[in-house]
Amino acid sequence: MSEVHSEQLLSEVAALPALPGVYRYFDAEGTVLYVGKAKNLKKRVTTYFQRDHGGTRIGHMVSKIVRMQTTVVRSEAEALLLENNLIKTLHPKYNILFRDDKSYPYLKITALPAFAAEPSAVTFPRVAYYRGAVEKKHRYFGPFPSAWAVKESIQLLQKVFRLRTCEDTVFNNRTRPCLLYQIKRCSGPCVNFVSPQDYAQDVLNAERFLDGETQQVLKTLESRMVAHADKLEFEQAAELRNQMSALSTVLHQQSVDNVSDKDVDILAVKVQGGRACVNLAMVRGGRHLGDRAYYPTHVEDAVSIGAVDADEQADSVEVQVLEAFIAQHYIDVPIPPALVTSAAVGKPLLDALSSQSGSKISAVHNPREQRRVWLEMAQKNADLQLARLLAEEGSQQARTRALVDALDLAPDDLAALRIECFDISHTAGEATQASCVVFHSHKMQSSEYRRFKIEGITPGDDYAAMRQVLTRRYSKFGVQTDPAAEAPAGRMPDLVLVDGGKGQVSMAKSVFEALGLDLGLIVGVEKGEGRKVGLEELVFADGRTKATLARDSAALMLVAQIRDEAHRFAITGMRAARAKVRVGGSKLEEIAGIGPKKRASLLQRFGGIRGVAAAGVDDIAKVDGISRELAEEVYRALR
């Protein structure tokens, strides 16, 4: 294997120290191939270059290596943490990689001030759904696996402790209680139906409940009830009795009245058919909050390459997937003190997590009692989720194959078949936009979608809009007159779908002829008789006869899926552009210091640009991320 590598690379390998560290392999184009860790860098890396790996996955990867980078660290734990930080950052091709761009939601209870001159919104903390960076002055509970779990918890707090959920601007302007007070989901602090002291006690009990101190909360409520009864304050005592009854009901429904665990994550893994699923279930405050499934990529490649060191006993695929998930997931997410896993994880990983979190992290893979129930539930969900994924992928692959056969396409690799679909959307010529959606690897690729703002045409001229978007998209792939010009980035799709019949196809044909591109790529999706779904016909730009696919054809299902996605994407873009023009939300982004996120927060808080314009400086400054100075600037700009 060493014959295919440069002398410089081999000399770098020979000069590596026998110390713990992390190594990165790069190909000729500078793409990161693999990131690995080692207790002994020299021994581990040398293994890749001294053996003959043949035509295996390892051999295929090693043959591409032209450059290497290494980082020496102090311990194996540091190496593990650095390795997974780099994996999440660099997205290497041959590592097990978990992609999850969604931040976790939290339940937020706003800060209770140390002193307030008179009752106001800040005197009565609010419970709310929250997603984003946390602030130290507020209390956050979670993370929760889903928005549904947060909202369910908020409903429990409303039912038992009757905490408010309204925005501060609503709270400060109420003169009579809202519907939530009438249905006993709020104690009415906005109209002083509860004292700040009693409300503060309810907030404290709610926080203790979320922390799992349920029995202490019940004892506190009971002692307060007895105290009111001794003073013959039977109405207040009855309120506390009802609160205890509601809390007892919740505890019975949640089955947490006798659970010793407060914060635990349960992780179960299932591997089948070259794919894997890790199911993460969360227990917080003794309450099972639900679960979320994760699907790693590059499982087969990473597993074969990760076992290259003969001096280490190769772990099972399940263990490698589980350890990769734990190491990558808890880089950004707080880790609870206890993990329950479906397979045993290594001590170095637990030591690294303990070092990172600053507290002891334990893991159990043969649990008993309630933990076993939780693990069995998570394992069952992992099995079901992976079976669903494999069924969906099998169905999508069958659709891709059916379309290839129906249109006589010849891609080198079925998964590499790339389809781009265009649609035009506007309202009576206003805010015309074109959308381009992308399909490859047997699924829609939303990260590659593009919108094109159409300008300089007669309003409502869909043909001119199609000409403009196709020219802008494919002109770089046209015939090059300058032989010294660099090749364009990316590649032409294997199929270009346009939502329309003969007219739109003719327009696309003229664009491709002018650019010197293959007319056989263009296919129009023409609505059938009565514009009914399932009666679509395919129109070709290269002169082939129209094709009518059967209503139950897998190829037609794929074409309809892509066409409908292009239409949806175009409609949402057009509506957003039209709303921006009509409502005037763009005025906010013209203010220095206001970007898309702050603009969205302001519009969401006040219900639109008119609400922002009508708000005072104090109210604007209460929006997250808006300083007093910036609030004054917004106030001046909109007046």
CA angle 296, 300, 306 (to 5 degrees): 95
Instruction: Tell whether 222 and 298 lie within a shared domain.
Output: no
Cβ atoms of 507 and 497 within 8 Å: the answer is: no
CATH of the domain at 320: 3.30.420
Looking at the structure of the chain, the number of domains it has is 5
Examine the domain organization and report whether 43 and 179 are in the same domain: no
CB-CB contact of 288 with 399 (8 Å): no
Asked if 433 contacts 573 with a C-beta cutoff of 8 angstroms, the reply is: yes
Amino acid at 348: P
Tokens coding 25: 């392999």
User: Token pair for residue 578?
Assistant: 């039209």
**Which of 480, 557, 541, 538 minimizes the C-alpha distance to 506?**
541
Q: Do 210 and 324 sit in the same domain of this protein? A: no
The DSSP call for residue 334 is P
* Residue where one domain finishes, among candidates 580, 608, 625: 580
> What pLDDT is attached to residue 579?
55
Give me the domain span that covers residue 596: 584-637
Report CA 63 to chain centroid distance, whole Å. Answer: 34
CATH number of the domain enclosing 504: 3.30.420.340
182 shares a domain with 57:
no
Same domain, 61 and 204: no
Q: Where does a domain end: 553, 580, 607?
A: 580
Query: How far apart, in whole angstroms, are the C-alpha atoms of residue 397 and residue 555?
Result: 11
SS3 category, 427: strand
Q: Which helix (H) or strand (E) holds 48?
A: helix 41-50
Query: Considering the domain boundaries, does residue 396 fall inside one?
Result: no
Relative to beta strand 495-499, strand 419-427 is parallel
- The SS3 call for residue 296 is coil
* 461: DSSP letter: -
159 lies in the same domain as 10: no
Report the run of H or E that residue 275 belongs to, with start and end. strand 275-284
Q: Which tokens is 197 given? A: 């002291």
* Final residue of a structural domain among 549, 564, 580: 580
Closest listed residue to residue 108, CA positions, set 72, 79, 80, 132: 132
- Residue 136: what pLDDT? 76
Query: In the structure encoding, which two tokens stand for residue 155, read together?
Result: 């409903």
Query: Do residues 442 and 499 share a domain?
Result: yes
230 and 322 belong to one structural domain: no
The amino acid at residue 389 is L
**Tokens 């008119």, residue located:** 610
What's the CATH number where 602 sits?
A: 1.10.150.20
Report yes or no: 544 and 388 within 8 Å, Cβ to Cβ. no
| pLDDT for the residue 534 | 64
In a domain, 138, yes or no: yes
Are 161 and 242 in the same domain?
A: yes
Q: Report the alpha-carbon distance of residue 251 to residue 254 in Å, rounded.
A: 5
Asked if residue 18 is part of any domain, the answer here is: yes
DSSP code, position 124: S
| DSSP, residue by residue, 49-102 | HHS--TTSHHHHHHTT--EEEEEE-SSHHHHHHHHHHHHHHH--TTS-B----P
The verdict on 238 and 277 lying in the same domain is: no
The per-residue pLDDT for 309 is 45
CA atoms within 13 A on the CB side of 1: 22
Tell me the average confidence (pLDDT) per consecutive run of 10 residues in the chain, 639 residues long: 74 90 90 89 87 71 88 87 86 80 78 56 83 80 81 83 86 87 88 87 83 72 74 73 66 47 88 87 83 83 56 69 89 86 89 86 88 92 89 84 85 85 79 88 90 85 92 84 59 91 92 92 82 75 84 84 90 66 56 79 75 84 87 82
Q: Which run of H or of E encompasses 26?
A: strand 21-26
* Nearest alpha-carbon partner for 42 in 12, 3, 65: 12
In angstroms, rounded to a whole number, what is the distance separating the alpha carbons of residues 121 and 173? Answer: 10
Q: Which residues pair with 335 in a beta bridge?
A: none
Residue 405 lies in a domain: no
Residue 407 lies in a domain: no
Domain shared by 126 and 84, yes or no? no
Q: Tell me, yes or no, whether 29 lies in a domain.
A: yes
Within a domain: 246: yes
According to DSSP, the residues that pair with 340 across neighbouring strands are: 266, 364
Please indicate, yes or no, if residue 484 is contained in any of the structural domains.
no
Helix (H, G, I), strand (E, B) or coil at 585: coil
List C-alpha distances in Å: 583 to 353, 576, 607, 609. 49, 10, 11, 7
**Rounded (5°) CA angle 228-233-237:** 55
Q: Let me know: does 389 contact 299? Beta carbons within 8 Å.
A: no
Same domain (yes/no): 185, 225: yes
- In terms of Cβ atoms closer than 10 Å to its own Cβ (0-12, 13-18, 19+), residue 197 is exposed
